[in-house]
Amino acid sequence: MDTAIYTGAIVIICGYLMGSLPTAYIMSRLRKGVDIREVGTRNMGAMNVIYSIGIAEGILVLLIDVAKGAAAVLLARSLGMPPIIEFSAGAAAVLGHGFPVFLKFRGGRGGATAIGVLVFLMPWVLAVGLPLFGIVLLITRFPTFSYSWLSPV
């Protein structure tokens, strides 16, 4: 029993550390030599990278951020952890994205990382949420506003 508790704690810590990987910051430093937290919307996320650095770079950041959340859940699942540990590891990844230990706890909003968590914990939410996002985006042309409609889902 003690081993399972320690393993669960380590999985949650690993989830946080995966989420803390500052992909938008790294991409903006490598491609333009700027701190993404100081340009554009000042948010450390894929949309700001798209606006400030480039579309290809932003899409790569988006995919990696989604993968961070998915990887945290899959790590717990692959070790046979109970669902509460899967959820906790995913939540830790989202917290890590928002408060990364590597950047003095100043990160992004965690939306893409949360989507990665949802892919494996609640895929039916994405089946409703992503089409809703697309419809609102087509109508408003504002990605951030369109994204906010996913909150009730």
Domain boundaries, the chain: 2-121, 123-153
- Per-residue pLDDT averaged across 100-115, rounded? 89
153 has pLDDT over 60: no
10: tokens are: 């380590």
Give 10 or 137, the one with higher predicted confidence. Answer: 10
What pLDDT score does 136 carry? 86
CA atoms within 13 A on the CB side of 114: 15
Nearest to 93 by CA among 119, 120, 67: 67
Helices (H) and strands (E) in the chain, counts: 8, 0
63 has pLDDT over 90: yes
What pLDDT score does 107 carry? 83
Residue 147: pLDDT band with limits 50, 70, 90: low
Question: Is 113 in contact with 93 (CB distance < 8 Å)?
Answer: yes
Percent of the chain at pLDDT > 90 equals 61
Q: Collect all residues with Cβ–Cβ distance below 8 Å to 16 and sequence separation of at least 6.
A: 92, 93, 95, 96, 101
With 0.85 as the threshold, say if the pTM is over it.
Answer: yes
